[in-house]
Amino acid sequence: MGVIKLGFISFIVFALLITGFSLFIPSHIRISKAVDINVSKDLVMQQINDATNWKNWFPGGDTATSYMEESKITGISIGGKQALVITEATDSSVLAKNVGPGSKRVTSGWNIYEGRTPNTVTVQWYMDFHLRWYPWEKFSSLLLEKRYGPMMEQGLDKLKNLLDK
């Protein structure tokens, strides 16, 4: 009986300790990548602001199906009933969110900045992750850069190669 009681108390203390450590990990994580492209801002915005053009540069976009709302393509399906949909666009930024049942709270965005040299722009792609307090979500966030960083770099490189031609 004493061994079971000791095991139960040890388990509770260990769980509280892990939860306490996870509270020091931020609940908002941003991964950001950028690339300089030698074209005008308008050409970059044509590729980013129109989801039909994502098949040309977005990683996996060439095989993804288009997501339609009100007879207009607004994003791409990213598996099952989930989609990445453009929710907001300005003259220098585009914002997209994951939608669908069971989708994670992730926002993707692209900002376009004027470059230092004429006819050059810097394209920044960022992903914002909004995590709950759960320890497994917080600790898994330590691996988000390794998982999404290379994919974002690949997409920006494809975009650069497409527009630099």
> What CATH superfamily classification does 27-163 receive?
START domain (3.30.530.20)
- Whether 127 and 31 have beta carbons less than 8 Å apart is answered as yes
Q: State pLDDT tens for residues 111-134.
A: 999 888 888 999 999 999 988 888
Q: Which contiguous run of DSSP H or E holds residue 31?
A: strand 28-37
What's the mean pLDDT in 126-149?
A: 87
Q: State pLDDT tens for residues 34-64.
A: 999 999 899 999 999 988 899 999 998 888 8
Strand order in the sheet with 82-89: 28-37, 121-130, 106-114, 93-99, 82-89, 72-79, 66-69
Give the residue with greater pLDDT, 96 vs 100: 96
- CA nearest to 96, candidates 64, 128, 57: 128
CA distance linking residue 66 with residue 75, whole number of Å = 6
Whether the pLDDT of residue 79 is over 80: the answer is no
Whether the pLDDT of residue 104 is over 80: the answer is no
